[in-house]
Amino acid sequence: MKVLLICKEMIAYERTAIMLLASNLKSCGHEVKAAVMKEAVVGKKIKKKSSKTTSLLHSDAYEGKPFTFTDSAQNKNNTDVFDIYENVYEVVRTFLPDLIGYSVMTGEHYDVLKLNRRLKEDFDFISVMGGPHPTFNKQVIEEDGIDAICTGEGDSSFPEFIRRIEHKDDYWLTKSFHVKYNSKIYRNSLENLVPDLNKLPFPDRQVLYDADPNLASVGAKSFISARGCPYKCSYCFNKQYNDNYKGLGTTLRVRSPELVIQEIENVRDNYTLDTVTFTDDVFTLRPPGWIQEFSKLYKKRINLPFNCTARASSVKEKDIIDLKEAGLTHVWMGVECGDEEAANKIFLRGTSNDTIHKVTQWFNKHGVKIISLNIMGLPVDNAFEVDLRTLDLNLRMKPAMASFGLLYPFPGTAVAKMAISSGHFKEDKNTLYLESNKYSSMLTFKSKKEKMMVENLQKLAGIIVDFPFLRPVAPFLCRLPFTKFYHLLFYMHLGYCHKIRLSPIKFKNIIKELPIFFGYFKTLVRKT
């Protein structure tokens, strides 16, 4: 079958799920393409040719009758969607896929649903939505135009879903899928987690690079060496994800160091690669001996700078020494909140500030930079004061970069339930989730002034960590109605930290990468 995989525009990071699914589907003999929803300049109409083809789903299941539900408040106006994403329309028109799979995060789903409904008007295909949004917002199957959703790992279930369609089997009963069939929604149980990641093929990067050549040109590329996280942080999807998969497999699964190195070698030999980024949930959480073996292989066969994720409670000093010797330059470490009571009661962090500070000293001692990851705007009565304590913890840590976002109570997370029960958040069909948590808070505070101060502090905090003399005047600065100006400063500081301080563009690639970087910067600002 012909399968098109679609995602929204990325900010310099590959969507690993799409690349893995492409590998699996190609190994089954399917023809696979990818498309990235890049926003075009609106103002011209594109010519649309009707390309209706026979659809198994429409002819076999629907008998020509549309399956309709009430539109959500965010998806009523479809008028100009093809003006914005004309590149996707052209791919669909020329490729004529039998099935379109969307990889969707919450916040992206509004445009994806809108685009899908418009594509359905001109083409016949089976639409499948996967990724975090349908996994934790299963009611999206009720949206008009969505034929099926994948509610968990799709490595085996997605190829099986397509196989059943191709052979006219009972595809509506595929595990891990919720499917519309004959005016009924079939909600199937989850397939077991993939037990051995070593048996999965390497991600097919070319399919995504064909859709977005800029990703191939950028020297920093992303890799995943493991899946799963056993921690129960309330703001994260992992707690609910693990609950969903209870009894269906091991939470933390790790690839062998040898296969991880082989994948990096394959990418290095075929594409531009000067920096390796590991985007695992917690890279420092590994079986005994794994980090030592990986470090030796990486130093010998790759020998490029790399960065990874870390959680203070999982870090051992001897591992830092090995990773640093292998080429580790910086780590992304969750700090979340400087107020220990809020950190443990609201975020369920389970890690003390002293532990975070001790591990910070280890990293500094061995020359590894830290990017601290922090969340502001908590569902507490004294939100601004709590956020000031987070700022103060970062001032004590002195990270190479302090990153601050606003709490987003994503559906399915424990913190969302807390925010609702405390009256700080009300979720209904009109709730608007942005694609970035760097702009405004979704919570309700005691006053508009407090909300403004929380949002202003989030935008200024990273700058204050770099210039500590500003700390005494932080409350005063946050009272000023300069949120949009602070937002501009925030992004300028973010760009400086990433591309000058932490991962500077290599001189040999500067002509090629600099325009791409500014394009990403423009996209990031536009999203908020």
DSSP string computed for 454-487 = HHHHHHHHHHHHHSGGGGGGHHHHHHSS-HHHHH
CA-CA-CA-CA torsion sign (4, 7, 12, 17): negative
What one-letter code names the amino acid at 192? N
Query: What residues contact residue 253 under an 8 Å CB cut-off, 6+ apart?
Result: 193, 194, 195, 196, 197, 226, 227, 228
Pairing of strands 177-181, 148-150: antiparallel
Closest CA to 453 of 390, 388, 402: 388
Sorted by where each starts, the structural domains of the chain and their CATH numbers stand as: 2-187 (3.40.50), 218-527 (3.20.20.70)
Where residue 9 falls among pLDDT bands split at 50, 70, 90? confident
- In terms of C-beta density within 10 A (0-12 exposed, 13-18 middle, 19 or more buried), how is residue 183 classed? exposed
The reply to whether the predicted model has a pTM over 0.85 is: yes
Closest CA to 21 of 220, 159, 222: 159
> Contact, 368 vs 396, CB < 8 A?
no
Q: Distances from the Cα of 486 to the Cαs of 357, 365, 459, in angstroms?
A: 28, 33, 6
> Looking at residue 439, what is its pLDDT?
80
Query: What residues contact residue 472 under an 8 Å CB cut-off, 6+ apart?
Result: none
Q: Distances from the Cα of 119 to the Cαs of 89, 395, 511, in angstroms?
A: 7, 50, 37
Average pLDDT over residues 74-90: 65
Query: How many CA within 13 A on the CB side of residue 474?
Result: 27
> Does position 43 have pLDDT exceeding 80, yes or no?
no
Where residue 55 falls among pLDDT bands split at 50, 70, 90? very low
> Looking at residue 71, what is its pLDDT?
36
Average pLDDT over residues 138-146: 95
Closest CA to 209 of 455, 516, 441, 431: 516
Mean per-residue pLDDT of the chain: 87
Q: What is the pLDDT of residues 260-306, one digit of tens each?
A: 999 999 999 999 999 999 999 999 999 999 999 999 999 999 999 99
Q: What is the pLDDT of residues 435-481, one digit of tens each?
A: 777 788 999 999 999 999 999 999 999 999 999 999 999 999 999 99
Higher local confidence (pLDDT), 57 or 109? 109
